[in-house]
Amino acid sequence: MRVLHITAECYPAAKVGGLADVVGAVPKYMSDADVIMPKYGTKWFQGQTTETIYKNTFWFPGQTIEFSIQKIISIDLGFSLFVVDIPGKFDRDGVYGTADGYFEDDVERWVCFQRAVLIWLSSIENSYSVLHVHDHHTGLIPFMIKYSYDYSNLKSLKTVLTIHNLAYQGSFGWDRQYLIAAFDNWKSGLLDWNNRINPLASAIRCADWVTTVSPSYLKELEADAGGLEWIFNNESEKCSGILNGIDSSVWNRKTDSYLAKLEKRSFKKFKLDNKKALCETLNINPSNCTISFIGRLVEQKGADILAYATHQLLQENSDINILMLGTGDPYLEDQFKLLKEKYPETTGINLAYDEGLAHQIYAGSDFLIMPSRHEPCGLNQLYAMQYGTIPIVNSTGGLIDSVKDHKTKGGTGIKLTELSVKTVIKAIKEAANIFKDSKLFNQLRANCIAEDFSWEASTKKYQNIYESLNDRT
């Protein structure tokens, strides 16, 4: 049984969010899984050697699309990575857009990608048993293999959809129906939601199985899914939540090349050395309680609440360091710049994406804060715990499933019961008090590193789904 993951992102080839980390890890832990994604014009792809294994064309309204399927051969990722090269569509310096905004032809790009993948698959004899699609960028595939005439030889393939973030559904008007390969019009209702073509809604209906990236996220979507609640409840028998894992070959405190090596030293010494190195890099006091945020500076991540909270907090507390790594809303970036200007000795603000610094922050911080309004799974809290950094999280989505409140047995973090500037300040102060209580602080860190968030258990659940689908006629 072979599985093909079809995706917009895959680490390390292209990463915007957690989707890339998941798709870049899951295939490593499966017995026979490949990945296919667009070939972007970004730096990573420019440095790779590829082998072209297939070429073809198809008619797209007003133009003939030429494309090729290439296999990356210059790097061993632990799985085979195929890319779709579509000149003029994806050979740009960005995945979804640039600093100036999203690409205006996004709908055409993703439909082209999906059609190219299906044309290639139609040419292969007995290759894959399951197509695992991810988010709306590949959401039309379950519909097209069942109802588009050009891909009728793919009807026997089983499809699994994983929803990483329902906030993005990729909907577009019926005036662009012509972009999709010709299909039986009697089935057009499977594409429609609120009088628009909605790839994600269609995939939930047409896929043989649907997963979300945590059990609690699935429960939340059944109650509030941006208008898709009815679909989730109607299709509930084929839906399940599977908590994401982390790739231990990348996130491993004993082998991480970005960090001071653990060697034979104690874990406590490891944390101390990495905190000293981090604070020296950022020119802040290592004796302070150090609390970090890594992620996009957007409302979904609670970055606005964190900005207001830290401005108030640092007015009266000089024994707390606040670190931030990420980019996003220009207004929020300015707020964190002001924080750095006003409190240079207790803040480390980095408005950038820096993979190495991210690893150093996870290893060198005392706490990691995630005041997310919505978090389908969240990976940052998993990385933090792997490195003995205690998470402070809002009680939403996968943060509910992965973090145990410090007041309970085996606690691993601080959980907010509601989200506000007041509760975030309170939680940070509570973290500072825990930091001063060495016995409790060290116990929480020990509990964190004892947690097992490796991919083995989660991947087994995916494998069980694939096998159960293949058993069906």
Give yes or no for residue 265 having a pLDDT over 80. no
Same fold, 3-245+456-470 and 267-452: yes
The CATH class given to the 267-452 domain equals: alpha beta
Sequence spans of domains, the chain:
3-245+456-470, 267-452
**Residue 102: predicted pLDDT:** 87
Tell me how far apart the alpha carbons of residues 292 and 429 are, in angstroms, rounded to a whole number: 14
**Residue 471: predicted pLDDT:** 81
| 337 neighbors 362 (Cβ within 8 angstroms) | no
Q: How confident is the model at residue 395 (pLDDT cuts 50, 70, 90)?
A: very high
Give yes or no for residue 261 having a pLDDT over 70. no
220-252 pLDDT tens trace? 999 999 899 999 999 999 999 999 999 888 899
pLDDT averaged over every residue in the chain: 94
**Residue 335: predicted pLDDT:** 96
289-316 pLDDT tens trace? 999 999 999 999 999 999 999 999 999 8
21-36 pLDDT tens trace? 999 999 999 989 999 9
Q: Annotate 272-340 with DSSP letters as a single string.
A: HHHHHHHHHHHT--TTSEEEEEES-BSGGGTHHHHHHHHHHHHHH-SSEEEEEE--B-HHHHHHHHHHH
113-166 pLDDT tens trace? 999 999 999 999 878 999 999 999 999 999 999 999 999 999 999 999 999 999
Tell me how far apart the alpha carbons of residues 399 and 393 are, in angstroms, rounded to a whole number: 7
Q: How confident is the model at residue 402 (pLDDT cuts 50, 70, 90)?
A: very high
Burial of 43 (0-12, 13-18, 19+ CB in 10 A): exposed
91-113 pLDDT tens trace? 999 999 887 788 999 999 999 99
**Residue 385: predicted pLDDT:** 97
421-460 pLDDT tens trace? 999 999 999 999 999 999 999 999 999 999 999 898 899 9
176-189 pLDDT tens trace? 999 999 998 899 99
**Residue 423: predicted pLDDT:** 97
Question: What is the average pLDDT across 343-357?
Answer: 93
| 113 neighbors 86 (Cβ within 8 angstroms) | yes
Q: How confident is the model at residue 262 (pLDDT cuts 50, 70, 90)?
A: low
Give yes or no for residue 78 having a pLDDT over 80. yes
Tell me how far apart the alpha carbons of residues 292 and 274 are, in angstroms, rounded to a whole number: 14
What phi and psi values does residue 357 have, to the nearest 5 degrees? -65, -35
The secondary element (H helix, E strand) that includes residue 146 is helix 141-147
Structure tokens at 339: 């924080």
Q: How confident is the model at residue 264 (pLDDT cuts 50, 70, 90)?
A: low
Give yes or no for residue 369 having a pLDDT over 90. yes
**Residue 141: predicted pLDDT:** 98
Question: Is CATH 3.30.390.10 the classification given to domain 3-245+456-470?
Answer: no
**Residue 306: predicted pLDDT:** 97
**Residue 263: predicted pLDDT:** 61
Give yes or no for residue 339 having a pLDDT over 90. yes
What phi and psi values does residue 377 have, to the nearest 5 degrees? -135, -60
Tell me how far apart the alpha carbons of residues 203 and 160 are, in angstroms, rounded to a whole number: 9
Among 202, 193, 138, 191, smallest CA distance to 164 is for 138
Question: What is the average pLDDT across 361-380?
Answer: 96
**Residue 249: predicted pLDDT:** 84
pTM over 0.85: yes
Distance (Å) of CA 451 to CA 140, 154, 359, 447: 37, 41, 18, 7
Q: Which 3 state secondary structure label does DSSP give 98?
A: strand
Give yes or no for residue 473 having a pLDDT over 70. no
Question: What is the average pLDDT across 37-63?
Answer: 95
